[in-house]
């Protein structure tokens, strides 16, 4: 049985604030509490789909939900200049096992190690390097117990309570 569409609608003011936020930070990559990685343009709508509150997408996470997994964002990564670079970053994050990074803790460590990479670091051969992006990559952590590394000029780490708090 498919879930019905979410009945609670955002107000025009909330939508305007969220569009301003997404416009400033561009396309996003994310990591869920189930360690699923993905790409999205609107994190608010994508989380609703991942949680099963809105119809569409999220087939992989649906299996984890049926087993009782709590689906929330663990990290949200923004600051990419275009969809291409964001999708390449998401691909690299998803297929890290090629580099012998298999466990969730190793994935988290790779993400945290971004701040120590130089300006010439690229996640794929065709992606822009961190120095060429034109603005720092911002990584928001939604886990209050997560230990965040120091930010650098190229990668900024921030703590967030919720998606609604981000758009402020």
12-70 per-position pLDDT tens digit: 777 777 777 777 778 899 988 888 888 988 888 888 888 888 877 778 888 888 888 88
Asked if the structure places residue 60 within a domain, the reply is yes
pLDDT, tens digit, for every residue of 124-150? 777 788 888 888 888 889 888 888 888
What average pLDDT score do residues 99-107 get? 69
Cβ atoms of 52 and 62 within 8 Å: the answer is: yes
Number of folded domains in the chain? 1
Asked if the structure places residue 4 within a domain, the reply is no
Asked if the structure places residue 97 within a domain, the reply is yes
Asked if the structure places residue 142 within a domain, the reply is yes
Asked if the structure places residue 109 within a domain, the reply is yes
- DSSP letter at 67 equals T
CB burial readout 76-99, b (16+ within 10 A) else e: bbbbbeeeebbbbbbbbbeebeee
pLDDT, tens digit, for every residue of 109-119? 888 888 888 88
Asked if the structure places residue 117 within a domain, the reply is yes
Asked if the structure places residue 139 within a domain, the reply is yes
The parent domain of residue 68 ranges over: 12-167
The C-alpha atoms of residue 62 and residue 29 are separated, in whole angstroms, by 19
7 pLDDT higher than 70? no
The C-alpha atoms of residue 18 and residue 3 are separated, in whole angstroms, by 25
């Amino acid at each position: 049985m498919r879930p019905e569409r979410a009945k609670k609608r955002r107000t025009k003011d909330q939508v305007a604030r969220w569009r301003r936020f997404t416009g400033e930070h561009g396309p996003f990559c994310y990591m869920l509490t189930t360690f699923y990685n993905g790409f999205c343009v609107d994190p608010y709508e994508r989380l609703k789909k991942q949680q099963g509150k809105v119809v569409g997408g999220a087939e992989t996470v649906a299996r984890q939900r049926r087993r009782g997994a709590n689906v929330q964002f663990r990290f949200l990564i923004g600051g990419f200049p275009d969809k291409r670079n964001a999708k390449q970053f998401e691909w690299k994050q998803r297929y890290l096992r090629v580099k012998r990074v298999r466990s969730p803790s190793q994935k988290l460590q790779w993400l945290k190690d971004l701040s120590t990479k130089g300006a010439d670091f690229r996640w794929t051969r065709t992606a822009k390097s961190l120095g060429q992006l034109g603005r720092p990559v911002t990584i928001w952590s939604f886990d209050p117990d997560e230990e965040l590394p120091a930010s650098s000029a190229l990668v900024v780490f921030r703590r967030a309570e919720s998606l609604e708090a981000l758009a402020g």
